[in-house]
Structure 1
Amino acid sequence: MTEHLGTDGKNHLQRLASLRRPLAAIALCCSVAVSLQGCVEMMVGGAVMGSLAATDRRTFGAQTEDKTIVFKGESRVSKLIGEAGHVNVNSFNRKVLLTGEVRDEAMKAAVEREINAIENVASVVNELEIAGVSSFSSRSNDTLITGKVKAAFVDAKDLFANSIKVVTERGNVYLMGLVTQTEGARAAEVTRNVGGVQKVIKVFDYITEDELRQLSTTQDKQTAR
């Protein structure tokens, strides 16, 4: 087709071709920049997740089992109670905490049996209430309280916030984790001073000061690798 174009036409095509090259380069640079940004985010995210995992005193195996227990527990409970109740399943170091509301004592016992039947569950703390299903506003308030308690742990400086799991139900705060007696008492004290908290229930697994030092040494070695 170019043989039918005059000089002006050929010059015009040459100018277009010269424009395409820098535009293509710009597009390539943008693509590379986006890819690099994704890589950086993955690297930073991985570093953060690695750091958080290192401060969790459970073994990686226990962490994985806890996630599996919660997944299976929520699925089984949902099928068991349907719309007749509201049950939260939390697991820390294979100890399961049940909170929420159920219709009657029979349903409360049935839920506990169902959870106990899950593989790797070490024990069940059944804190289910015989009551009507809690409202959305009540659950939203519980979420707010949980956030405030976690923030208070961070502000306290002398607590390892990532070693403690906070569960709130109807203003009652349940504390789970692997802690020493001193840490458990301190965590409960801090929690009681948070606005909106009705009661503090400790569901801790206690370790000695020597066991804590051993855990810290092991985690330091794992982090160094």
Structure 2
Amino acid sequence: MSRNPRFFTRTRSSAICAILMASLAAPLLGGCFVGAVAGITAGSLAAADRRTVGTQVEDRTLQVKAESAIRESFGESVHVNATVYNRQILLTGEAPDETTIRNVEARVATLPNIRLIVNDIQVGFKSSLSARSNDAFITGKVKASLLDAQDIFANSFKVTTEAGVVYLMGLVTEREANRAASIAAGVPGVVKVVKVLELISEAELSRLSATPNNGSAPVENGPR
């Protein structure tokens, strides 16, 4: 059956708008609203995620546990975000001194099922709400730009931004990594792009692309 390019373009445009809406709302509104907006894109993009469904759930759980542990242990003295992909935790944000930064990492390291911690917390004052809103908007623009690209799968990447520095996570080939970094670097407001990526071979990419995501329903051609 032939692909309907008009439908594809409209779906892509709707997803881009939803991403930008969620990014603008994130620092200002509760998680329920943002989750509802983000859910608009989830169905169309989930198939491109190279993690198994089980790993995706595990990553979300680990992120909640990490941020809860940081909040309970350090309260308002720090501003730290934990971003998780394939059981790797990226820590970004601000803390008052190097000792606190090390203590935050040590606290997160006590959580189970972590493969690696990448600590890029900076010494400094906590960022303002306007700075965080700007970071969220940059993240949305980067995601939208990746989604708009025709030669990579946007949902193979996880994007987060701190003080204008964009971090890319994901299971990708070197070709995809370089392409995504180039796209992100061209987005207005981006200060630097940091690749926190797991590289796979083109052969491994072909294998992952041919294998249905665990937990996904089978897809068959319609009756003839």
Q: Same fold (TM over 0.5)?
A: yes
| Residue in structure 2 matched with residue 172 of structure 1 by the alignment | 165
Larger proportion of helix: 1
CA drift of 1:215 comes to 0.5
What are the Cα deviations for residues 132-181 of structure 1, in whole angstroms up to 9, with x where unaligned?
Answer: 00001100100110111111112221110111011000000000001000
- Give per-residue Cα distances to partners, 1:76-130, cap 9 Å, x unaligned: 0001111111000110000100000011111111111111111111000000001
Give percent identity, aligned residues only: 49
For the pair 1:72 / 2:52, whether they are aligned, the reply is: no
Unaligned runs of at least 5 residues, structure 2: 1-38
Larger Rg: 1
Partner amino acid, structure 2, of 1:114: R
What is the alpha-carbon distance in structure 2 between the residues aligned to residue 220 and residue 117 of structure 1?
30
2:191 corresponds to which residue?
198
Q: Summarize the alignment of residues 139-178 of structure 1 with structure 2, pairs less than 5 Å apart.
A: 139-178=132-171
Deviations 1:15-45 (A, max 9, x none): xxxxxxxxxxxxxxxxxxxxxxxxxxxxxxx
Match of 1:138 in 2: 131
The structure-2 alpha-carbon separation of the partners of 1:138 and 1:54, relative to structure 1 and needing over 3 Å to count, comes to same
Counterpart of 1:119, as a letter, is P
Give the alignment's TM-score, normalised by structure 1. 0.76
User: Unpaired runs of 5+ in structure 1?
Assistant: 1-45
Q: 2:54 aligns with which of 61, 68, 72?
A: 61
Pairing partner for 2:107 from 114, 122, 136:
114
| 2:90 alignment counterpart | 97
Count of residue correspondences: 181
The whole-number CA distance in structure 1 between the counterparts of 2:202 and 2:92 is: 30
Shift of 1:51: 4.3
Q: Aligned-residue CA RMSD in angstroms?
A: 2.0
CA distance in 2, matches of 1:214, 1:196: 36
Could you say which residue in structure 1 is the equivalent of 2:8?
none
Question: What SS class does the counterpart of residue 78 from structure 1 fall into?
Answer: helix
SS in 1 for 2:60: helix
The secondary structure found in structure 1 opposite 2:151 is coil
SS in 1 for 2:93: strand
Q: Which residue of 1 aligns with 2:204?
A: 211
Residues 1:220 and 1:88: Cα distance change in structure 2 (over 3 Å): closer
User: CA contact under 8 A between 2:135 and 2:164: conserved in structure 1?
Assistant: yes
Aligned pair 1:224/2:222, yes or no?
no
Taking structure 1 as reference, are residues 113 and 52 closer, same or farther at Cα in structure 2, changes over 3 Å only?
Answer: same
> Residue deviations 1:184-203, cap 9 Å, x none?
00000011110000000000
SS of 2:64 mapped into structure 1: helix
Cα distance in 1 for partners of 2:172, 2:59 equals: 17
Q: Which runs of 4+ in 1 moved over 6 A?
A: none
TM-score, normalised relative to structure 2: 0.76
Q: Assess, with a 3 A threshold, how the Cα gap between structure 1 residues 220 and 65 changes in structure 2: closer, same or farther.
A: closer
Distance 2:130 2:43 in 1: 35
Cα displacement (A) at 1:219: 2.1
* 1:84 is the counterpart of 2:94: no
